[in-house]
Amino acid sequence: MNHFDDAREFIAGGVNSPVRAFAGVGGEPVFMKSAKGAWLHTEDGRELIDYIGSWGPMILGHCHPAVIDAVTTTAQNSLSFGAPCVLETRMARKIHELMPQMEKLRMVSSGTEATMSAIRLARGHTGRDKIIKFEGCYHGHSDSLLIKAGSGALTLGVPSSPGVPAGLAEHTITLSFNDTDAVRSAFNELGEQIACVILEPIAGNMNMVPGDVEFLQMLRDECTRTGTILIFDEVMTGFRVAKGGAQAVYGIAPDLTTLGKIVGGGMPAAAFGGRAEIMSSIAPDGPVYQAGTLSGNPVAMAAGLATLENIDVDGFYEDLSAKTRQLVDGLKGAADDASVPMAVEQEGGMFGFVFTDDDKVRRFDQVAGADIERFRHFFHGMLDAGVYLAPSAFEAGFVSAAHGDAEIERTVTAAREVMKGL
C-alpha cells in the first residue's frame, strides 16, 4: 500500500500541514506508526532517530510516562467540558511561575490562534491598526500575518497567499529581521500609528536565526517610547531554549507572549498573555472578543502541565543544552572534515544548520541564498541512515531529554558518511 496515494484521495495535498508533504526536499512523506523516547517507528517498519519532536513539543521524548499517565487519568473523567476546570488554573499558575512577565493569560488551541488573538488584543487595546512583522518569522496562517514585504523598507505589505485581502495587508509592515535601521525608520515615520511589533526572538521558521540582543533591546526601547505593544512569539522557543524562554535568555521583557507546542505536551494547546493591564481588554473583562470551544481542554492541560512540571527540575536545561551542543558540534565537525561549508546555531534544546559560506546567519536572505540542493541531498542521505530531520531547509531542529549519547553518536556517524558525498 502506498500511504501517500491513499491519503491524497481524501486529504487535501495528502497532508494536514504543508511541510509534511516533503515539497521542500522531494520524494514522498514518511508515515509514522508509533514513537518512544527519541525514536520514531514508521508504517513501513523503519526505526528513525527523531529530531523533529512533533515540531518541538516532545521535549521529554515521546510517550513520557508522566505525560501518558496524566492524559489517561484525565481522559477517564471527560475529554472536554466546555466549562471551567481546575486544571486550567493550575496550568496558568505554572506558566506564570516559569514566565513571570505573563501576569495573566488565556489558553487557546494552536499557535496560530495565540498570535492572531494577541495581535487583535494589541490593536484593540491601543486603538491602532498597523503592525510590524519581520521577514522569515512565521506566526501562523492568520490573514494579518500572511503578508510579504513591499518594494521598500517602509512600503506596506502585500498578500503572500490568495485569500488575504489587500486592504488588510495595507496595515502590515514587513521588515528585515535584525535590521535596526529599518525599524528606527519605521518608528520615526509611523510612530504612534503602530499597534504592535511581533517577532520570534529566536526565529525557527527560516532555519534557526537568533535575534541580536542589540536589535531586540532597540525594539523594546522603541515600543516603550511610542506606546507600541511588543509581542514575543515564543510558540517555538517557549520552554525550549530555556525554562523562561528566549525572553529569559536575552533578559528582555515583552508586553505580550504567545506560547504553543511544549505547553500542550503533544496535545493541541497554546496560550497568549502578558501585562495584566493589557489582558484586561479581553472579553469578558474588556471589549476585545476572543473565544474557543476547546480552549483549556482538560486532557491538553493535563499533558502540558505534566510536561512543564517535569522540565522544572534542577539540571534539566543544562543537560538538554549539553546534548544539543554535542550534536551541533558533531555535525559541524563532519561538515568541516568533508570541506562542506556550514553555519550552525544552538540554544537550549533547539538547533539549526545552514549550508552556507557565512560564519553566522542572521537574516532570511542568507538562508534563502544558501545551498538548498545540498540540504536536500543531506536530508535524504540522513533519512536513509535512520535519522529524521525536518524536511525543509527553513526549519529548526529539536533535541529531547530522551536523546542519549548513543543516538547522538549514531547521528554524527551518519552525517560524516553523508557529508562525503555532498
Active site residues: 138, 233, 261
Could you write out the DSSP letters of every residue in 139-198? Answer: --S-GGGSEE--SSTTPBPEESSTTS-HHHHTTEEEEETT-HHHHHHHHHHHGGGEEEEE
CB 132 within 8 A of CB 233: no
Q: What value does the CA radius of gyration of the chain take, rounded to a whole number of Å? A: 21
Residue 286 DSSP class: S
Q: How far apart are CA 324 and CA 53, in angstroms?
A: 13
β-strand partners of 202? 210
Residue 288 DSSP class: B
Strands (E), 181-339: 194-199, 202-203, 209-210, 229-234, 256-259, 270-274
Q: How far apart are CA 268 and CA 57, in angstroms?
A: 10
Which of 307, 415, 304 shows the shortest CA–CA distance to 351? 415
Give the three cell numbers for residue 54. Answer: 512533533
